[in-house]
Amino acid sequence: MKDIYQLSKEELFKRFNSSEKGLSEAEAVRRIKKYGLNQLEEQKESVLLIFFRQFNNPLVYILIAAMGITVYMGDKIDAGIIGGIILVNGLLGFFQELKARASIQSLKKMTETKATVIRDGEEKTVPVSQVTVGDIVVVREGDVVPADIRLIDSSGLLVEEAVLTGESVPVEKDFQPIDDEDVPLYRRKNVLFKGTIVVRGWGVGIVYAVGKNTEIGKIAEKIKEKAPESPLNKAIKKFSLKWMLLLFGMLSVILVFGIIQGRDLYKLFMLIISELVSAVPEGLPLVITFVLVIGAVALAKKKTLVKYLPAVETLGSATYILSDKTGTITEGKLKVEDTFETDRHMLFLVSALCNDASGENGDPLEVALLKWLENKGYDWKEARQQYPRVWEYPFDTNLRLMATVNIIENSRYLLVKGAFESLKKMAVNDTDRFEQVHDQMAEKGLRVLAFGYSVVDDVPESIENVKINIVGLVGFLDPPKEGVKEAVETARKAGIRIIMVTGDNIKTAVAVAKKVSIYREGDVAVHGTKLKEYSDEELYNLLKMTSVVARATPEDKYRLVKLLQRNGEIVAVTGDGVNDVPALKVADLGIAMGSGTEAAKDVAKMIITDNNLSVIVEAVKQGRIIALNIRKVIYYLMSCSFGEILLLTSSFLLKLPLPLYPIQILWINVVTEGVQDKTFAFNKPEENIMDRKPEKPEKTFFDRKQLLDILFGASLIAFVNLLLFIYALEAFSYEKAVTLAFTSLIANQWINGFQAVKSEPYLKNLKSSIKANPYMFIGVGIGVLLQLSALYIFPEFMYAVPLSLSDWGFVLLTSVIVFFTLELKKLVFR
């Protein structure tokens, strides 16, 4: 049996029961059921496994051990309550994780790569997962190959197969059958492999393998690569290690002192269990994921689709944005504004023939050329029929030109269009006047193309050695987008430097950059060809003053990103073409344009559906809001937990009876953290969020100020409630003293949560503070009902007694003290 690369077109159609018209939609559906979805299968957890995983953590093991001991000691009611609280916490985590997973899956669907197939004789765009065996697929420059495909037609096709072979140099492909046997993968010139990238040209082929049966799928099955840890996870792990060392140190001291003091071993053990329960905010990782997911959903509503969730953490920390010009800063809706020619007929011919656009479809610049020709009354369709193309050299990002050979009046004409600097090197005619006009156009902010030709005997072996006559220049107007100038000013205030990295002429780039305030007096504009003259240190120092890099190559963009990262910068990069892929891939935040190539969207961490710099700056703002909400929830959970530990420890060291029962501590976690922490995801943005300088991701969540704030909040809550407990022991029974401390601590933690919502004093703008997070009021309302039930419906289960109206005055007093002390701290240290 012949191998796939040996078959002729007819044999391929016969083997896969397909044709040039492709599959029918009904047949495609049938084959998807047969062969499965065209995707590398993720390891999915069952709902049951997700449920049981909620109980797979050291804290739950400790609680289960405590439950076993209480049963052994004959205290079955306590054991039942501990078991019930474990179950409630597990259920809360379970439903929260299901919701988060559903949101992530919907985001994945929104960002799925698309492919072009022929079905029922018509070209259609479908999600890559819906491509199946026997489909006829069309690939063009910038596409990611959607499946393993055997070519049946192609032209000038170059494919980068680094993902499969490790070789970064693009490989030439064609559709002719190969007669040899046992041809290795890298020599199969008529086969395209899933995940590789089309660099130039186009191809049509038939799908012969999908999903895990593709070559990349076979590799993926053998090697499951773990995603790198996000900065937030690293910071939490680092903090957790220090926290646990501190905690075990404190518990060791308590154990030793307890034995010396002759404390009851059962009560001592339950105290240690209580402190462990207080110390570990087990819901923190899930709450952070919840905040990130809610943030990603909010970003999607603002035209930014998140592909890689941890990228949201670093979004607000961006210090540099390397932005494209066309379509991001400018409209991308080009129109011919000015022309200069010495041979009008040849200028029209080159514009029509050295052009891959077809009517409304194609590169915006080439589409604009065709519209200009139509406005001039020139029939470019007839010209293409009359003068057929016999050879092409697709646009080269390094040489900045495109060329074709067409038969014109029985002669071979080489037609070239591209950057004036590139064509000037090839010109045999005088270019002084062209250069003068070119500079005048560029200084107006026009994007300028040069056009030339020569008569050749055969297709050229090297385009760089060809000599041509330049016949004209065309200047394209591409006005700045609305809102970009304001976005640039916002980014500048936020401490973010925007550098326009473009392939355009330096004069055009500077003129456009000036219009949108990217380039200001004293800034530097650098020509891409000059970058290699600088050492890394010199270039980094230069970038601090640079706002435009013109005539930049993909290699230049890549170097800029890596250089900035090595110097500790967080870099966001925008891109839409296959040439942007290397920079997008290595950037901290690779942001692809929604209208860009599939290759760019495939490697990017985010996709913006509205190609506009203002959307990117707005996304950075959202990133800062999300990061600040995570910071706030970390403060809230840690200060509440540490406050409980300090209260218990200080009571113990003062030889007082325990102010809280272990059951009460578990209950506190349900009615405070359990109802409040999830609401932090819905905090409204603070007014001055974009007036702050960016911070490193790890500093955003755990810096000196955060740790001091946690210590202050915890100490305040512990001290106030310790004083209340000491007073209550003198004035009332032990049961009432415990109940007062129990209820007061809960109310104080609610107050701490409200104060954590805003960085500025709560009373500075009371109306704004109340509106800052309405969901928190709902959460606390639920908590209040639960606590009232604990006091008046089943107090005996909580070792509590019902409080009188006058007793509530003590709870109110401690809450007022906590509120105004936190308020005063904000005023003093702001």
Tell me the catalytic residues.
324
SS3 content of the chain, % helix, strand, coil (to 5): 55, 15, 30
Question: Can you tell me the distance from the alpha carbon of 590 to that of 572, in angstroms, rounded to the nearest whole number?
Answer: 6
**What H or E segment, with its residue span, contains residue 685?**
none
| Listed residue (673, 645, 810) closest to 752, CA to CA | 673
358 vs 380: CA distance, rounded Å = 10
Do 185 and 171 meet the contact criterion of CB atoms below 8 Å apart?
no
Torsional class of 596: left (φ above 0), alpha (ψ -120 to 50), beta (otherwise): beta
Q: Is 319 in a helix, a strand, or coil? A: coil
CA 788 – CA 800 distance, rounded (Å): 11
Strand partners, 153: 204
Tokens of 269: 């053990």
User: Which structure tokens are listed for 574?
Assistant: 């925008």
Q: What is the CA radius of gyration of the chain?
A: 34
Tokens encoding 729: 């022991």
Contact 763, 666 (CB under 8 A): no
Half-sphere exposure of 206 (CA within 13 A, CB side): 23
| Separation between Cα atoms, residue 507 and residue 216, nearest integer Å | 45
**Interior/surface letters 748-773, b for 16+ CB within 10 angstroms, e for the rest:** bbbbbbbbbbbeebbeeeeeebeebb
Q: How distant is the alpha carbon of residue 684 from its chain centre?
A: 21
Q: How far is CA 159 from CA 22, 154, 217, 324, 446, in A?
A: 23, 12, 19, 24, 33
Q: Which among 408, 402, 393 has a CA at the least distance from the CA of 369?
A: 402
Contacts of 107 (CB under 8 A, 6+ apart): 296, 297, 300, 305, 306, 307
Of the candidates 52, 2, 514, 70, the one whose C-alpha atom is nearest the C-alpha of residue 273 is: 70
Do the beta carbons of residue 504 and residue 551 sit within 8 Å? yes
Question: CA-CA distance, 415 to 391, in Å (whole number)?
Answer: 10
Distance (Å, rounded) from C-alpha 590 to C-alpha 363?
22
Q: Can you read off the two tokens belonging to residue 474?
A: 């065309």
CA angle 374-376-379, nearest 5°? Answer: 45
Q: Which of 720, 781, 762, 777 is nearest to 745 (CA)?
A: 720
Residue 694 CB partners (closer than 8 Å, separation 6+): 316, 317, 318, 319, 494, 495, 496, 570
Exposure class string for 588-621: b at 16+ Cβ within 10 A, else e = bbbbbbbebbbbbbbbbbbbbeebbbbbbbbbbb
d(CA 134, CA 132) in angstroms, rounded, equals 6
749, 679 in Cβ contact below 8 A? no
* CA nearest to 63, candidates 626, 396, 54: 54
Closest CA to 356 of 478, 502, 153, 202: 202
Q: Is the dihedral of CA 674, 677, 681, 687 positive or negative?
A: positive
